[in-house]
Amino acid sequence: MAEFTLDLNDDQKQIRDWLHGFAADVIRPAAAEWDEREETPWPVIQEAAKVGIYSLDFYAQQFFDPTGLGIPMAMEELFWGDAGIALSIVGTGLAAVGVLANGTEEQIGTWIPQMYGDADEVKVAAFCSSEPDAGSDVGAMRTRAVYDGAKDEWVLNGTKTWATNGGIANVHVVVAVVDGELGSKGHASFIVPPGTPGLSQGQKFKKHGIRASHTAEVVLEDVRIPGHCLLGGKEKLDERLARARERAEAPGGERVKNAAMATFEASRPAVGAMAVGTARAAYEVALDYAKTRSQFGRPIIDNQGIAFQLADMRTRIDASRLLVWRASWMATTGKPFTSAEGSMSKLYASETAKQVTAQAVQILGGNGFTREYPVERMHRDAAIYTIFEGTSEIQRLVIARTLSGVPIR
């Protein structure tokens, strides 16, 4: 088991510097253009594929870093470049992780390569879970999957929303209800192969921030997929549903159900790392500006009102990174989140990103309010961190429940 350390080893430093160079030289110069276009930055994704960043191999290497710091380090550097473009680069990973977590070896080998394509023809994938009436409340999911035993096919119907790469993806991973009486335990994940009839893109959202990342509804109308597209297979699903029914009927069954939150806890530090990257980027712009912008005959950083803001910004950023690294290390080394440390890291880092980017706009004054400077875009982008992967309110709820042992509502 790797000991917790704040010192990156030589390999980690090399990867960090490589990612930072790509973010500085490729992502950041393209950020304003693709934010304005509100389109998927295919040329940038292709460049990422050429150098090996947009690939399952790269993210697998970071995921299996024994210190747990590979993923948060990568997320921070890419999102330091630009949140919208970075999310376009890493968004396929959501679907890939869904297959890795639930699929058979054959499914993993078949579908994940199709999610990424190659450097000559990049592809993207979409993970479709949220619905118009089922965001934080996953138990309210309405998309249904019904098994047609005569044809060994699953039939999917419903509407998904807030799907990154939804409708433009080569492969869609869709979460659907197979047993409505079991709540979230009655859900299963399915692969919808390329070109499957009945799947279409619904509304494409025009967003406040992360506008280079494609977000849309996915409509499923009598979508028929082969039985082998159920992740994990039907035998495994039937066994899992049987166990869930037994536990739901047994004393303490509700506590077993809530234990599933541990899975979400392990993924939240990665979002916290994204927020740290955006906050750090805005802070650096504000610091440089404060050193060079003069008012009343001296640089504005000479004023305590500005200098103290920058001190607070840097302190919050460093504290956020420490929380993210702690949670990431705990997840990798199998230490239990007895105080909801995963949610703590995501909550604090996402709130920090909103606060720091707002302060950066204020320090730049009128210039910060224009698109001539990047802090305006960073401030818009930062708003998403307190919303996706569990809102700040949900994070506080998880933390409070974990600390108190009380089912707070």
At residue 21, φ and ψ (nearest 5 deg) are: -65, -40
Of 390, 285, 276, 288, nearest to 323 by C-alpha is: 276
Distance CA 129, CA 188 (A): 10
Which residue in 76, 249, 389, 393 is the catalytic one?
389
Enumerate residues 6+ apart whose C-beta is below 8 A from 251. Answer: none
Q: Identify whether 389 is a catalytic site residue.
A: yes
The residues carrying an active-site annotation are: 389
